[in-house]
């Protein structure tokens, strides 16, 4: 009976060892999970960085366009300064400016 009992215990141990070898190592899974999270966060940071770069590039382009528009308006106003139109009247802006100064 001792031999049979020993073989039975050995068979149980073999079965347990086999089951255990098929299970995944929790420490290894944890490391894989941490690596997955690190890659996800790195990808997300890069996507956000690119989105902000795109936003600021579009903003800079818009501001350049607006600055050029204002520069053109300022040049137009400076060119009109002191000029009289072909029909002898002052430009609209000069008349408004003189009216503002006269009212002071």
pLDDT tens digits, 33-76? 999 999 999 999 999 999 999 999 999 999 999 999 999 999 99
Rounded to a whole number of angstroms, the distance between the first and last alpha carbons of the chain is 123
Give the span between the Cα atoms of 83 and 96, in whole angstroms.
14
Q: Give helix then strand counts, H and E, for the chain.
A: 3, 0
In the predicted structure, residue 15 carries a pLDDT above the cut 70: yes
Average pLDDT estimate for 87-104: 57
CA of residue 76 relative to chain centroid, distance: 39
CA distance 82 to 93: 10
What proportion of the chain, given as a percentage, has pLDDT over 70?
77
What pTM was estimated for this model as a whole? 0.47
| Mean of pLDDT values over 83-97 | 54
């Amino acid at each position: 009976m001792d031999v049979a009992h020993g073989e039975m215990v050995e068979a149980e141990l073999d079965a347990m060892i086999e089951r255990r070898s098929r299970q995944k190592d929790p420490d290894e899974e944890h490391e894989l999970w941490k690596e997955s999270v690190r890659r996800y966060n790195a990808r997300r940071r890069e996507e956000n960085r690119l989105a902000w770069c795109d936003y600021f590039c579009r903003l800079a382009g818009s501001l350049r366009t607006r600055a050029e528009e204002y520069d053109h308006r300022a040049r137009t106003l400076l060119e009109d300064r002191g000029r009289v139109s072909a029909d002898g009247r002052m430009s609209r802006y000069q008349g408004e400016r003189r009216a503002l100064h006269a009212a002071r």
